[in-house]
Amino acid sequence: MGLTHLAITDHDTTFGVREGCHILSASMPKLICGIELSCSGAPGKCHMLGLGIDPENATLCDTLTRVQRARDERNALIAGRLTQLGMPCDINDVRKYASDDGVVGRPHFAQWLIASGHCNDMHHAFRAYLGDDAKAYMPVDCLTPAEGISIIHAAGGRAYIAHPMLLRLKAHETLEQRITVLKDAGMDGIEVYYPEHTPVQSERLTRMAVKLGLTITAGSDYHGTSRPQSILGRMTDGLRAPIDQIDPWLLEKAISPAH
């Protein structure tokens, strides 16, 4: 596809990016080591991207072990709730939809619901059962945004708010106010370019980044076959990320096969 750089940012695990480091070859894009941390608590729920991280960092690994335990507890509750709703759910069946040593999350429950004939598609699964406040939703005790930022920094990376236009803001709260609070907590930048951001929204976020002194990144949020509408390396309207606007520090941190 002509990509020069590729960031792997699995949710709450570095398994995929560590595997990627081992299989680098001269024919592959340079690899940016990353993670996407699920955060909740003040100032609000968000996904915090960590890019340019050391996936072997002890602080990061210890934290992810704790997060995984909390996820396992939440997953058991979701399986139990789906069973109560008349859809007998064995967590081992759900786990089949996650990669080896990967993190089991709500998308994997959605895939199980579709394969079992209970839902038509991912949207249906989240709307009916798995989305926030849906019938089988269960909260997970995870990191606050400030903790996520701190852990990313401890691992040598920079922290960026993922898909900010999808944030659920409080009444009378503006997006710039939320971004400013995160910046004050140490956040480094904004994911400006994203498939669900319109050109107008991307331009707004670019102006906000410049105003607040934040750097810019981009993500296609590619999820493989579980989200076929996402195309690797493509943003709004199928366009590529404008590499000249991407934080140059990220490109310098990318790993080539020579490493």
pLDDT digits (tens, 9 = 90+) for 144-171: 999 999 999 999 999 999 999 999 899 8
* Residues ≥6 apart with Cβ < 8 Å to 107: 97, 122, 223, 226
CATH 3.20.20.140 positions along the chain are 5-57+143-253
pLDDT at 159: 98
Where residue 100 falls among pLDDT bands split at 50, 70, 90? low
CATH 1.10.150 positions along the chain are 65-130
Residue 204: how many other CB atoms lie within 10 Å: 17
**How big is the chain, counted in residues?**
259
Where residue 193 falls among pLDDT bands split at 50, 70, 90? very high
Q: For residue 15, which of 58, 51, 64, 50 has the smallest C-alpha distance?
A: 64
- Specify the CATH architecture of the domain 65-130: Orthogonal Bundle (1.10)
Mean pLDDT for 39-57 is 93
**CATH class of this structure's domain 5-57+143-253:** alpha beta
pTM, two decimal places = 0.85
* Residues ≥6 apart with Cβ < 8 Å to 59: 151, 154, 155
Q: Does residue 257 carry a pLDDT above 80?
A: no
Q: Does residue 239 carry a pLDDT above 90?
A: no
Q: Answer with the residue of higher pLDDT: 132 or 108.
A: 108
Taking only the tens place, the pLDDT of each residue in 56-91 is: 999 999 999 998 888 889 899 999 999 999 999 999
What is the spatial distance between Cα 134 and Cα 28, in angstroms, rounded to a whole number?
41
Q: Does residue 20 carry a pLDDT above 60?
A: yes
Q: Are 39 and 45 in contact (CB under 8 A)?
A: yes
Q: Are 134 and 141 in contact (CB under 8 A)?
A: no
